[in-house]
Chain A
């Protein structure tokens, strides 16, 4: 019955789904990242070209392929040809590619990023260093199917795992997840199966399942990409999970800052309901489960389970003491499982391919893959999915292609604001929950920001601490006041007013905040300070003892200066770029910066033509010849 119902849906879907084997399909990546790069204009140009030429091609708006560095992205699948992805396209090139490829059989290799399947013409993503590291499970279909069309998901094997699990006893499904060793991808890595088991065994008729999509980490965008690129994968995982734990109602708690994700989720839920994949009597199995979207209102602490529940209940998001754990008494006092977007997205894959397959990826203690959002000073920013136990070095230098602009690697910030900064020496650490914690960072939700020689570690620590200070809910004294004091000290140091005893004080405070906080927001808040003190103590010392910022980043400790012998007198680029008219000619027509007016916005340095490179930053500010110390 269940099988037949699904087979019918798949058959209907297949008739409406084009995969480029019969008619050409042109796909434009239009997730939030793509849109920021201009994907909607490209989409428009593609549609117009197809229309103008009267081509029998399908134009499809898809999510993100993960190669965000090259956005906007275009994929053309044409019968008889390998599907090809093009990067850095604009309206003009997009129109040209469509016309040349679809009409004239010229795949425009000069614009191609890579092919999606092996062929003799164009290398595939797997042929690059990046491809050798990557292994896509959750991201497999992202950027290749229309997230707003359930037919695409169904026709490519979607919801098969759901049908399979509905034909099994809930205990068997649960057992499979326990055996897979799946650990929560929200950050802490708690065994998912054990959480489910606790909830299943808890007493009560009514149980809830919540998907935590409140991705609040600055620097993380994996959840957003999954929601925008393949929302049905999450829905399928949720129904399977609900079946396993016996939940009847589900919520997706998604941040309101992700309007596109919210919209695509709502569309997906409606479609799943209309096909009988959500709601009462799913696929004729007798099991009923429905999902509502709840928009978070911008509070980082609501990523914490108990705070998230408080928020759903209409309260300020204050965490509470555990136990009881939410799996025992959660939303409205009822047993509740809360899982991250990624955790739930692995579930359909584990059900259809088995626990042993999942265990074969990654490491013994951390099986599966890890999804990272690569950002910062790395060449290839974007999303990457690699097996656990891949090293940080591989991730940064192979997947990310190393540091941009020929700069030097300095540190990698991993695990969001409560993670840590790791230096070159620990780059060979395999990525898994336990190794990272040992190195002084944490897995977190997967934000990875690469820092180079121009980034000041003291300033980074201050930035993160300032973030957690602002986001602290204020319930615990140490978290509320301890972080405040630490920010003040760090602030002082970055302004060149640090005192030698500050470092001990910082360390002391950090330990106290860790010990005196109720939830993980407070307990992990000092991580950036502790890890930078551990690995980059010399930078703190330079700020305190020499009033100097070695990375030339801290505004109060630097000054801009135009090297007279490099300044091309007839060029006015810097003068024009200065927003506060702080640059003028001296009697020799050499440009001079008025230090009292300068707002240190960096415009002049960027504007100065590279062949002159006359604008430099100096630290300390009084290193500027002739009274640069003026403030």
Chain B
């Protein structure tokens, strides 16, 4: 996925700001990367290079850490991050079917982002809501006992919310004219 110049600029600035509040050295590496990801939603290559320099850690070690841990993303997430839980209980209650439903509806594979960057789809190991299986997280919101029809329902609700926002904007703009 190609990043725009502004996105790169923002990544570098974020990396600088975050790194400035930590001591140099490897001990700060993971917290710094986590903060960058919390801000940007991902850790792009330019941010990694910046962090390596500022913390005085070899760039290859930064890359090793980012790629080792599941939490870090290298590409921007969608505005709505869909995370399908694949823990034991969710698996037994059809988590795979739910994942496939999202893949089918969004027309992307797990790990990908839709071209309009509206949705990204991930699998997570376990969110600890096993009694509510199968579970899906949309951003931080937990949805319990999800079915394929519920997936359609969620998408429809998102669509409605989006149209409402856009409709609101259109009215606002109309009023300004």
Residues of A within 8 A of B (CB): 32-33, 35-37, 68-69, 71, 215-221, 224, 256-259, 294-295, 297-300, 311-317, 373, 375-377, 381-382, 413, 417, 447, 449, 451, 455, 460, 463-464, 467, 471, 473, 577, 579-580, 599-603, 606
Q: Contact between B128 and A215 (Cβ–Cβ < 8 Å)? A: yes
- A260 CB, min distance to chain B CBs, angstroms: 9
The yes or no answer to B132 lying at the interface (CB within 8 A) is yes
B residues in contact with A300, CB < 8 Å: 125
Please state if A449 and B147 are interface contacts (CB–CB under 8 Å): no
Closest residue to A378 on the B side, CB-wise?
Answer: B131
Cβ of B142 and Cβ of A376 under 8 Å apart?
Answer: no
Docked complex Cα distance between A579 and B150 (Å)? 11
B1-40 with Cβ < 8 A to chain A: 25-31, 33-34
Contact B71 A298 (CB under 8 A): yes
In the complex, the answer to whether B26 meets A219 with C-beta atoms within 8 Å is no
Instruction: Report yes or no: B129 in contact with A33, Cβ–Cβ below 8 A.
Output: yes
Residue of B nearest to A380 (CB): B131
**What separation, in Å, do the CA atoms of A581 and B142 have in the docked complex?**
29
Chain A positions within 8 Å of B86 at CB level: 218
User: A36 near B68 (CB under 8 angstroms)?
Assistant: no
Distance in angstroms from B144 CB to nearest chain A CB is 5
Interface of B is mostly: helix
**Separation in Å of the B17 CB from the closest CB of chain A?**
19
User: Nearest-CB distance from A511 to chain B (Å)?
Assistant: 24
Q: Could you tell me how many residues of chain B have their Cβ less than 8 Å away from some Cβ of chain A? A: 50
When the two chains form their complex, are residues A259 and B140 in contact, meaning their CB atoms are under 8 A apart?
yes
* Stretch of B94-102, B113-121, B161-169 on the interface side: B94-102
Residues from chain B with Cβ under 8 Å of A603 in the complex:
147-149
A449–B34 contact, CB under 8 A?
no
B positions within 8 Å CB-CB of A: 25-31, 33-34, 57, 61, 64-65, 68-72, 86-92, 94, 97, 100-101, 104-105, 124-133, 135, 140, 142-144, 147-149, 152
Residues of B within 8 A of A259 (CB): 140
Q: Say yes or no: A382-B30 contact (C-beta < 8 A), given A579-B104, A601-B148, A602-B94.
A: no
Residue of A whose beta carbon sits closest to that of B126: A218
How far apart sit A603 and B86, CA to CA, in the bound complex (Å)? 19
Contact between chains at B91 and A463 (CB < 8 Å): yes
| Contact, CB under 8 Å: A580 / B65 | no
Contacting residues, chain B, for A382 (C-beta < 8 A): 131
Are B104 and A381 in contact (CB-based, < 8 A)? no
A376 contacts B91, CB within 8 Å? Answer: no
Residues of B within 8 A of A375 (CB): 88-89, 130-131, 133
